[in-house]
Structure 1
Amino acid sequence: MPDPDIMALQVDRDDDVAVALMPLAPGQMVAIGNREVAIVDAVAPGHKFAVHDISAGSVVRRYRAPIGVATQMIGVGAHVHSHNVQTALRGELAYDYVAKSADAVERPGGGQPGFMGYTRQDGSVGIRNEIWILPSVGCVGRLGERLARWGEALVGAHVDGVHAFNHPFGCSQLGHDLEGTTAILASLAQNPNAGGVLIVGLGCESNQLDLILAQIPLERRARVRTVRAQSEQDEFAAGKAALEALADLMAQDVRQPVSLSGLRLGVKCGGSDAMSGLTANPLIGRIADAVTQAGGMAVLTEIPEMFGAEQLLLARAENKAVFDRLTQVVNRFKRYFLDHGEPVSENPSPGNIAGGITTLEEKSLGAVQKGGLASVVDVIDYGHIATRHGLTILEAPGNDAVSTTALAAAGVTLTLFSTGRGTPLGSPVPTMKIASNSALAAAKPGWIDFDAGMVLTDGMDAAAEALLDRIVAVASGEPTCNERNDERSIGIWKRGVTL
């Protein structure tokens, strides 16, 4: 629980609002800086109240930035939420490039711990040594699941697990939609956590095995096996033989000490509340900075949850080419919404609103903190693999299953997933759930891997040190909650026509 003497937090002294850390009742006096505010309305934990009068039509600021516009006069101490604040987001924007200041965004580095990982032939490092079964088309998804159940007998000293990732796509898709499915599966097959991959095809599908294999480099194909079900008299027996062959290859794989530079970190949020931007997301940002400072990779996605905060990332673009690429991806995603007749501000979700998030700008300003302060070194399309050390922006929607899958396909080996309301969801790679508040961590110990509520009690530095220790343990083999619960699945972004 937070310090009982601290009832609310204001991120910046120029912000128009503060966030309640505990239930506040009308008439209660709350200290904000060197003054006190009398609460007018009941304010639930995670919700906001005005720290001074806000006139109708005025910009409302939190995180030192606009989170919306007041739709009516809001008196000091009044509850500030969706009933009196609305988004100011509209559509595509033009952005002016300003070269990043050389010393504006980097945190100082330092000695960082290493972990025990699996070094692959291409120099990448896995934190698991698993066999992944990927169906080219949904028609053989259940076959893959049957093979995974049989493959449990192969798990032992050198095989950490055998997992099938079913999906309904791969046929009756056209153009870019089909290309996206092919790219995701080909990229998943190259994830360093997969010591062996079995791709199961049907034979007549649009997403032909040869299309997938063509996108996998030759050196990686040595750990890939395929089965075409229509070409086999006994497709299950063929699949078993392929799994046994992969397990034999993986017998040479052993954990070795590697530096933190070998970590490929994905950062994600879901079921957020207003505390996410105060505790869990900036804490994850500290870890992203530690990994990138050490020479590793961090990947930030959920493009629609950058709307209203994209300027913070654009200001950190390593060069104009990266800046232009990020503006293109952001505006392309806005156009995707508009072309479907949807406003770009169709967010936050009902759960987010219940947790105290009022507008998409507010959600985005909290969400982008997961990327820390590192320079943005690259921007990649959906289904592509991150290749540069530093912070990469990945094109994908905010949907939890789709975006965590896109992160795994981008090559991340561990995803840090902040949440204020909780979710059991897991992706192909270990998916550590970071609770934004201690109440959630206490209520859902089977879901939550780390309580970021300690930021309020022990401070950010202590929380970052504790979380990094936990990450090193997970990277060295300790299972996450999603792994213990066997919560592993994929979601593929469906964008086009189905025949």
Structure 2
Amino acid sequence: MNNTSLLLDSSDNVGVALSDLVSGEKVKISQVDIDIQEFVPAKHKFALRDFIPGDDIIMYGTVVGEATRPIRQGHAITLQNIKHKTRSYELKSGQYVWKAPDIAAWKSRTFMGYKRADNQVGTANYWLVLPMVFCENTNVKLLQEAFENALGFSQPNPYEVQIKNLILGLQGEKFTETVAQKVASGRSKIFPNLDGIRFLTHSLGCGGTRQDADSLCGLLAGYIHHPNVAGATVLSLGCQNAEVRILKEKLAKLNCTKPLVVVEQQQEGTTDALITKAIQETFEGLVLASQSQREPVSLDKLVIGLECGGSDGFSGISANPTLGRVSDLIVALGGITILSEFPELCGAEQNLINRCETAELANKFVHLMETYNEAAKRVGSGFDMNPSPGNIKDGLLTDAIKSCGAAKKGGTAPISDVLDYTEYAKTPGLNLLCTPGNDVESTTGLAGSGANIILFTTGLGTPTGNPISPVIKVSTNTKMATKMPDIIDFNTGTIITGEDTIETSGDKLLDYIIEVASGRVKTKAEEKRNFDFIPWKRGVSL
């Protein structure tokens, strides 16, 4: 790879700066010398020819923008001279031919997982405690404090020492370490085969639309059915829109037979009666859950969620294509991968349509995309408003530029299924899942659709995690990985510097996934207890 600039596709008319380019510098793109006419920051784009207003801006071999004023060759592409534009797409039949990657080195590989009775395999073993409605959030937190302290899952807060030092400093004293912290650090877990109890809270369940209540029940059912979950405790108030009846209907559709503890406050009476019953029945479930043990499982049991957040101009060049390589390997091995974030597929539609295995899947994908975009437009937004200020600052000027890079996470495999939000992934191959681009809402949806590992690329850095599915944070560039080592698990910046190819980076990442899936390595999000859970309130969220 050229260490100063890059052409992503032979038909592109803009180049990408891999490092800061200054006025007067010469770069060679496809054997053509380009004189840089002004400062072009790393990750940003520059003109390979002269443009007049109305000309298409081409990246990744497709339209990602339109010139709004004249741009001379060698000048920077900015929001002052281009605007969002995508190429029109059509539903056309055609036979997509996929050249699957060589998987000989992976066929006999295994990970240490938890086999479930329904043939799913977990990469972790959790008990889940969740509320049907926000009214029960406080009771969930009471249970969390009691269980985590009693069972050895609590961790000392590293910032508590800092605060106590400040307090005692007023008296000229110094705080070092409390007895409670010593006890917590030396405490052994009561249930060694249980990876933890995960406690969810949310702001939904009542007061909204019936559609939101139904969607919440579908999401919670997906979490209970998830392969990383052994069983669940559900707290209900009793009068909310998100009824326990609806939850049980959703679980029945998934053929979920896991242990389920349901306690309802209006039926039990006092808070003490509710909590006492929940503790007793949950403890019995934990005893059963702890009987599970890890055992070798083939890689086709991996269900990989594909996500990005805090993206930058290198996302579509390093980290996202690395995920694409992993996705293709998993698909070739017979596993499932799930590509989410529909606002970040705007501009990549034709490629995805062409890869759908049936016309029905292509129609469903287009219907979900157009319905979502129209809903956004009705409230004065739209997919074109998706890039955040951080995205724009680091080179993702239009939603189409961002989307064409984001779609690289899905590799090149055919699309075997298209899922609406809360639909559960069951079909081997690459699945498309309708979620927002919002990081936490999307990762929440990926786990709800069965992803037992989530790969999350970032160029700017984000601490996002998930309560039940390990989130592996993949950096697009070495500078950020070095700056934020407490949140980054894997660095693909070596592709930018030429130390790795997409193939070698993807292979290394799959090795790392196996370690995480086997419980031998904890992700940074798990270590920092970044257990983020935000259901999508199906109005508009981009």
> So what's the TM-score if we normalise by structure 1?
0.95
Determine the C-alpha separation between the residues in 1 that align with 2:145 and 2:291: 23
Q: Give the drift of 1:108.
A: 4.1
How far apart are residue 89 of structure 1 and its match?
4.7
Alignment match of 1:274 (pick from 271, 293, 313): 313
Instruction: Give the equivalent residue in structure 2 for 1:201.
Output: 236
Q: Once the 2 structures are TM-superposed, how far is the Cα of residue 110 of structure 1 from its aligned partner?
A: 3.0
Q: Does 1:96 align with 2:91?
A: yes
Contact 2:47 2:74 in 1 (8 A): yes
Hey, what's the Cα distance between the residues in 2 that align with 1:242 and 1:284?
41
Partner of 2:135: 139
**Structure-1 separation of matches of 2:225 and 2:437:** 23
Using the alignment, how far apart are the partners of 2:321 and 2:143 within structure 1? 41
Alignment partner of 1:385 is 2:424: yes
CA distance in 1, matches of 2:338, 2:532: 19
Note the alpha carbon deviations across 1:17-40, whole angstroms, 9 max, x for none.
Answer: 111111111111222232322211
- Range that drifts further, 181-190 or 233-242: 233-242
Match of residue 110 from structure 1: 104
| 2:471 is aligned with 1:431 | yes
1:352-388 C-alpha deviation (Å, 9 max, x unpaired): 0011011111111001111111111111111111110
The answer (yes or no) to whether the contact 1:95–1:327 under 8 Å persists in 2 is no
Give the counterpart of 2:507 among 452, 465, 476.
465
For the residue of structure 1 that corresponds to 2:514, the secondary structure is helix
Match of 1:302 in 2: 341
Equivalent runs, 1:410-425 vs 2, <5 Å: 410-425=449-464
Cα distance in 1 for partners of 2:147, 2:227 equals 20
Q: Percent identity?
A: 34
- Indicate if the aligned counterparts of 1:188 and 1:409 stay in contact, CA closer than 8 A: yes
CA offsets 1:32-53 (integer angstroms, 9 cap, x no match): 2323222111111111111222
Gap regions ≥5 residues in structure 2 = 152-188
| DSSP-derived class of the 2:241 partner | coil
State the shift of 1:254 in Å.
Answer: 0.4
Indicate yes or no: 2:199 matched with 1:160. no
Counterpart secondary structure, 1:123: coil
Equivalent of 2:522 in 465, 479, 484? 479
Match of 2:208 in 1: 173
- Structure 1: any 5+ residue segments left out of the alignment? none
In 2: Cα distance, 1:394 partner to 1:13 partner: 30
Residue matched to 2:275: 236
Amino acid at match of 2:91: D
Q: Distance in 2 between matches of 1:80 and 1:283?
A: 26
Q: How does 1:303-382 map to 2 (within 5 A)?
A: 303-382=342-421
Describe the superposition over 1:205-244 as per-residue Cα deviations: whole angstroms up to 9, x where unpaired: 1212222122113863432211212322422212211221
Counterpart code for 1:58: D
**Partner SS, residue 384 of structure 2:** coil
**Conserved in 1, the CA contact under 8 Å of 2:374 and 2:382?**
no
User: Residue 45 of structure 1 is aligned with which of 42, 52, 68?
Assistant: 42
Equivalences, count = 491
How far the C-alpha of 1:173 sits from its partner, in A, is 2.1
Aligned partner of residue 237 in structure 1, secondary structure: helix
After superposition, what is the alpha-carbon deviation per residue over 1:269-327, rounded to whole angstroms, capped at 9, x for unaligned? Answer: 11111100000001001111111111110011111111111111111000111111111
Deviations 1:97-126 (A, max 9, x none): 22233x245434434122100010000000
Larger radius of gyration: 2
Contact (CA 8 Å) 1:106, 1:375: kept in 2 or not? no
TM normalised by structure 2 equals 0.87
User: Is 2:6 the counterpart of 1:9?
Assistant: yes
* 1:440 and 2:440 aligned: no
1:394-450 CA-to-partner distances (Å, cap 9, x unmatched) read 111111111111111101111101111010011221111111111110000011110
RMSD over aligned CA atoms reads 1.8
- Counterpart residue number, 1:494: 537
CA distance in 2, matches of 1:207, 1:373: 39
Q: Structure 1's 222 and 361: CA in aligned 2 closer, same or farther, altered over 3 A?
A: closer
Could you list the runs of 4 or more consecutive aligned residues of structure 1 that deviate by over 4 angstroms after TM superposition?
Answer: none
